[in-house]
Structure 1
Amino acid sequence: MERNGTSTTTLVLSGFVDVEKYRYLYFWLWVLFYFLIVSSNCVIIYIVKINPSLHEPMYVFIAALSLNSILLSTTVYPKLMVDVLSHRQVATYSGCLLQVFVFYSLAAADLMLLSTMAYDRYVSICRPLRYATLMGKTRVCVFLILAWVLPACHVSVSIIIQSKQKLCGLVLEGIFCNTTIVKVHCSNPMSLFVWGFVVIANMAVFPMVFIIFTYVRIFRVAFRSRGEIRAKAVDTTLPHLMVLVMFTVFIVFDVMIGLLGINLTKILRLFLSMQILVYNPLFNPIIYGLKMKEIWKRIKRLALFSKN
């Protein structure tokens, strides 16, 4: 039966497996993951904040990436905790659109921040004499603002288009609101697909191409230079590349779950959803904490100080 996409329309989230049986297992898993994500990312932010020597663009961007991970997780985890303790896992259509907007805006902001970090490493290694000019405080602030504002502007257009569509389905094949929301519409206008390609191109493809281009240039310069510059390139770019790989995995999982409509078992679909929610937010601070020497040294000092 056709339904209007009003705020009172309720959608059923059907992605949980045996929620009645494993209700408390789900709940404590969400609590554990959310606690680890928030605490580990807060450590990175705190380390950068209290150490003046880390008030450099590279570390500021890392702190921004950690903040983004906290915000991204907060968009999903609290709702998951409430859902598994409820008799029905549901969401209003307007609430679902809001979650989709915030989630994908922040996910795209992740890639924008990774792009600014790639540019920062490019200028630092390939244009060191101009680094202070090209990466001044004002420019860093502009990069940070654009990293969050541009994705929000792009995703908001898609949300506005979807908010005007009529609903013919009330069941989402997931544990939270994601790209599968388009499947509950009676029909999707061509403008939604066209703008979807624009968003993917501007927020994913172009940044990815830019990152690859900058790192090709970085490694060409690094391997033609002295051992010190080469070591600096590896030390500061390897964690970034590892995070980029994790983000690519995130994109692949999301496309598999949402847009491609691949027939997956319910257990596999749930497993892939959990990877999306855990990989980047939790592994980013671990990668930067372990691989960035300056951050790792200060984490060890903080740990020793807390013991004393």
Structure 2
Amino acid sequence: MMMNSTQVLYFTLSAYFDTGVLKYLYFMIVMSLYVLIVGSNLLLVVVICMNRSLHEPMYLFLCSLFVNELVGSSGLFPFLLVQILSDIHTVSAPLCFLQIFCLYTYANVQFYNLAVMSYDRYLAICYPLQYNTRMTFNKVAMLIALAWLFPLLNIVVMISLSASLQLCGNIIDKLICDNYSVVKLACYDTTGNNIYGLMYTFIVVFGLAILISFSYMKILRVCFSGSKQTRQKAVSTCTPHLASLLNFSFGAFFEISQGRFDMNGVPIMLRVFLSLYWLTCQPLFNPFLYGLNLSKIRILTRNVIFL
């Protein structure tokens, strides 16, 4: 019998499997990861906010990145911890859509932040003498606001379209709630959702990808034609960002591939790892990546820890 979205009171997450007493070990591992992620990202947010010497564009963009990783982690780990200990892996429809909102906001804001940071590095390396006049405080505030407001608007529209669909089932073959999985449960045509998704992909995602590619093409050209000091500056400031960008792209690619292609031939543990990779590795590695490579952050963080 067909049922609309208001009659779907809960979703069943079928990707979970019985782990017996090992669930307590998995719970401790996931809890440790969550504490480490929250602690490291929160520490760097505090360090950047409390030290006026770090109130520069690059570090303010990093602060936005770390805050976003706190949002994404909080949308994943508490939910995951409850499901690991639970014997019945269900989630209410409102909570499912709330998780979709948090995780998709994280993914979108992360991509916007990385694009803005690449633009910032492009100006710093290609126009060092004009950098302070081109990247003013007002411009930094505007870029950070846009990096949050555009994705939030997109996610609100996307969830509104998904929540209004008539659904003929409530089983999601994943560990977490996923918008594409909900759309696949629709009884009728999902043309509106598909058109909106394609438009957003082509206009925004490709647009940001072009901005990132343009920025790094210009940076590489300056590196090859500039002095040794210029190359060293570019490498020291761009390496963490480029590593973060590649890590995020790698995780997002596998997450999208799992939703669009048949992955039944892939071992279940590998599928579980890949489905959580982009939500855990980015917030876990970024604080250490930037904290270890950027000397100002490293020194001030050490001062806070050993105060």
Q: How far does residue 20 in structure 1 lie from its aligned partner after superposition?
A: 4.1
Question: Aligned residue for 2:212?
Answer: 211
Say if 2:165 and 2:183, in contact at 8 Å, map to a contact too: no
Q: Over residues 157-207 of structure 1, what are the superposed CA-to-partner deviations in whole Å (9 max), with x where a residue is unaligned?
A: 221111111111221111111232222222342111111112222442221
SS of equivalent to 1:12: strand
SS of equivalent to 1:160: helix
d(CA) in 2 for partners of 1:283, 1:249? 14
1:232 has 2:233 as partner: yes
1:197 has 2:198 as partner: yes
Q: How far does residue 113 in structure 1 lie from its aligned partner after superposition?
A: 0.6
Residues 90-99 or 30-39, more deviating? 90-99
Say if 2:8 and 2:167, in contact at 8 Å, map to a contact too: no
d(CA) in 2 for partners of 1:22, 1:10? 26
AA partner of residue 58 (structure 1)? M
Say if 1:218 and 1:233, in contact at 8 Å, map to a contact too: yes
Say if 2:104 and 2:155, in contact at 8 Å, map to a contact too: yes
Say if 1:165 and 1:188, in contact at 8 Å, map to a contact too: no
AA partner of residue 67 (structure 1)? V
Say if 1:58 and 1:120, in contact at 8 Å, map to a contact too: yes
d(CA) in 1 for partners of 2:289, 2:71? 19
Question: Aligned residue for 1:78?
Answer: 78
d(CA) in 1 for partners of 2:36, 2:181? 28
d(CA) in 2 for partners of 1:7, 1:79? 23
d(CA) in 2 for partners of 1:99, 1:167? 18
Q: Over residues 18-61 of structure 1, what are the superposed CA-to-partner deviations in whole Å (9 max), with x where a residue is unaligned?
A: 24443212221221111111111112212212222211000111
Question: Aligned residue for 2:282?
Answer: 280
Question: Aligned residue for 1:301?
Answer: 303
d(CA) in 1 for partners of 2:134, 2:90? 49
SS of equivalent to 1:223: helix
Identify unmatched segments of 5+ residues in structure 1: none
1:257 has 2:258 as partner: yes
TM-score of the aligned structures, taking structure 1 as reference length:
0.93
Question: Aligned residue for 1:270?
Answer: 272
TM-score of the aligned structures, taking structure 2 as reference length:
0.93
d(CA) in 2 for partners of 1:229, 1:137? 25
Question: Aligned residue for 2:151?
Answer: 151
Q: Over residues 260-305 of structure 1, what are the superposed CA-to-partner deviations in whole Å (9 max), with x where a residue is unaligned?
A: 34334433321212313211110111111112222223233344x3
AA partner of residue 239 (structure 1)? P
1:121 has 2:157 as partner: no
Residues 54-63 or 262-271, more deviating? 262-271
AA partner of residue 151 (structure 1)? P
Question: Aligned residue for 1:61?
Answer: 61
AA partner of residue 185 (structure 1)? A
Q: How far does residue 217 in structure 1 lie from its aligned partner after superposition?
A: 0.1
CA RMSD in angstroms comes to 1.8
Identity %: 34
Say if 2:4 and 2:167, in contact at 8 Å, map to a contact too: yes
Count how many residue pairs are aligned between Structure 1 and Structure 2: 305
d(CA) in 1 for partners of 2:260, 2:211? 25
